[in-house]
Structure 1
Amino acid sequence: MFHVKHDPEFDDPAVAAAAHMMFGRRMDAAATYRDFLADAGVVRGLIGPREVDQMWSRHVLNCAAAAEVIAADARLVDIGSGAGLPGIPLALARPDLRVTLVEPLLRRYEFLTEIIGILDIDVQVIRGRAEDKDVVSSVGGADVVTSRAVAPLDRLARWSLPLLRTGGELVAIKGSSAGEEIEKHRAALSRAGLGELRVESCGADSLAVATTVVRGEYRGKPGKRR
């Protein structure tokens, strides 16, 4: 299928413990996904070769940690999914979620379709842009729209909010400047209907570096607020 060398990162007891805690019975599937990222993901240019030694901490666990802020049984859409981050780790960590990955580029779409088949998990993959009418028609009304390193918050909101139901939530994995980004775009985000904006840390009890998440509630289109 695919081949990777020994994974020294997993020899770290803290990394192994965090992975087992987050993925539980799906630990083997999570390890398969990590290995696929480290092999096919690098070969196909979706993951940088220097990332391999930190695949768990910087990618798989970093994304899975966001599961702690997502409500039970949510219908979740991951836009600009790329190599499946954060959607696949979230689906593995939370089998109750109904996950759809949205990705416009063919080679990434094919990568996602292949790994979903290998993992044998109930995750849908759609090829298209979040703003495409066909995508909005197909997956609109979601409980949660998530993303990771896709775009600044103002652009991210323009792509994400049409896919959310009123009362649904944007959950964006961001970096250390997330608070500054909120302040920079707060007025535009409010006009777009996104409120209750806040920055939260996920996985603080299990990860060496917690995952920074921006959350906001979609209040509906202007003029159609609840």
Structure 2
Amino acid sequence: MLPDFEISCEKFSQCGIELSREAYEKFDIYAKFLVEYNKKVNLTAITEPTEILCKHFIDSACLLKYVDIKPESTLIDVGTGAGFPSIPLKILRPDIKLTLLDSLNKRIDFLKQLCDKLDIHADFIHGRAEDFSKMPEYREQFDYSCARAVANLSTLSELCIPFVKVGGSFISMKGPSEDVSRGTNAIELLGGKIEDITDYSLFDEQRRIITVKKISQTPIKYPRNSAQIKKKEL
């Protein structure tokens, strides 16, 4: 399914990331199952092998290049969809303790089957971030939360920061046009502070990673319910 091992290694290497034979084999299983499952459940518009390699797997893996994820960290991927960026991270860093959250059960079903095929352990949450981040067993329980999503930074921050413990980080993977200033007020209200903004090239496309440090507890009134979030940004 994927380009052969040598070609895939070269693609990873161009982005400064090492690819082992074991990781390659897991990515190949991932790609095959993604394309097969995508025929019955819409998971991605990207189904060409080289594009899967570059725009899903390497794009996700770049988070490890630009953010220092500590060993044995807990990470929740909010609105994970088909498992990006977190499952590629888990393939490359098996020590990460992973939780996958998505509001659509058909995606959670795909992720459970995928993790079985990859022999990966993860916890799964079917539900909305604004509901589960209010529960004591999830609120401020993670070293990191991450999202590779189209929502603006203000909305993503309200959904993701409440999951992060003080001292941890929220990592947002965005395009280069993201207006960071639009999320600054929300980040401060939620107990965060922008720690780093990294702009980089993924082959011929520009990317941006925004890292938000959690410096104080999130006020209990956040996140608001979904209707309030949609009506007005923080």
Indicate the TM-score class for this superposition, using the shorter chain for normalisation: 0.7 to 0.9
Report whether the alignment pairs 1:123 with 2:119. Answer: no
The answer (yes or no) to whether the contact 2:142–2:164 under 8 Å persists in 1 is yes
TM value normalised by structure 1 = 0.82
Q: Which runs of 5+ in 1 are unaligned?
A: none
**CA shift for structure 1 position 146:** 0.4
> What is aligned with 2:145?
145
Which secondary structure state, in structure 2, belongs to the residue aligned with residue 199 of structure 1? strand
Report whether the alignment pairs 1:54 with 2:55. Answer: no
The answer (yes or no) to whether the contact 2:5–2:24 under 8 Å persists in 1 is no
> What is aligned with 1:220?
216
> What is aligned with 1:111?
110
Using the aligned pairs only, state the percent identity: 25
- Report the Cα distance in structure 1 between the residues aligned to 2:90 and 2:9, rounded to whole angstroms: 24
Moved more, 66-75 or 7-16: 7-16
> Cα RMSD (Å) of the superposition?
2.9
Going from structure 1 to structure 2, the CA distance change for 1:28 and 1:52 (only over 3 Å counts) comes to closer
Question: How do 1:111-190 residues align onto structure 2 when only pairs under 5 Å count?
Answer: 111-133=110-132, 136-140=135-139, 141-178=141-178, 181-190=179-188
Between the two proteins, the alignment pairs up a number of residues equal to 215
Moved more, 139-148 or 24-33: 24-33
> What is aligned with 1:33?
30
The answer (yes or no) to whether the contact 1:161–1:170 under 8 Å persists in 2 is yes
- Report the Cα distance in structure 2 between the residues aligned to 1:26 and 1:12, rounded to whole angstroms: 11
**CA shift for structure 1 position 24:** 5.6
Name the aligned partner's letter for residue 90 of structure 2. A
The answer (yes or no) to whether the contact 1:77–1:139 under 8 Å persists in 2 is no
Post-superposition CA distance 1:150-178 (Å, at most 9, x none): 52111111111111101110011111123
- Report the Cα distance in structure 2 between the residues aligned to 1:155 and 1:50, rounded to whole angstroms: 29
**CA shift for structure 1 position 53:** 4.3
> What is aligned with 1:75?
74
> What is aligned with 1:198?
196
* Greater helix proportion: 1
Q: Which runs of 5+ in 2 are unaligned?
A: 221-234
Going from structure 1 to structure 2, the CA distance change for 1:56 and 1:194 (only over 3 Å counts) comes to same
- Report the Cα distance in structure 2 between the residues aligned to 1:201 and 1:133, rounded to whole angstroms: 31
Going from structure 1 to structure 2, the CA distance change for 1:36 and 1:222 (only over 3 Å counts) comes to closer
The answer (yes or no) to whether the contact 1:38–1:52 under 8 Å persists in 2 is no
- Report the Cα distance in structure 1 between the residues aligned to 2:6 and 2:105, rounded to whole angstroms: 32
**CA shift for structure 1 position 86:** 0.8
The answer (yes or no) to whether the contact 1:195–1:216 under 8 Å persists in 2 is yes
The answer (yes or no) to whether the contact 2:76–2:145 under 8 Å persists in 1 is yes
Going from structure 1 to structure 2, the CA distance change for 1:47 and 1:15 (only over 3 Å counts) comes to same
> What is aligned with 2:61?
64
- Report the Cα distance in structure 1 between the residues aligned to 2:173 and 2:135, rounded to whole angstroms: 22
- Report the Cα distance in structure 2 between the residues aligned to 1:157 and 1:22, rounded to whole angstroms: 31
Name the aligned partner's letter for residue 61 of structure 2. A
TM value normalised by structure 2 = 0.80
- Report the Cα distance in structure 2 between the residues aligned to 1:154 and 1:101, rounded to whole angstroms: 21
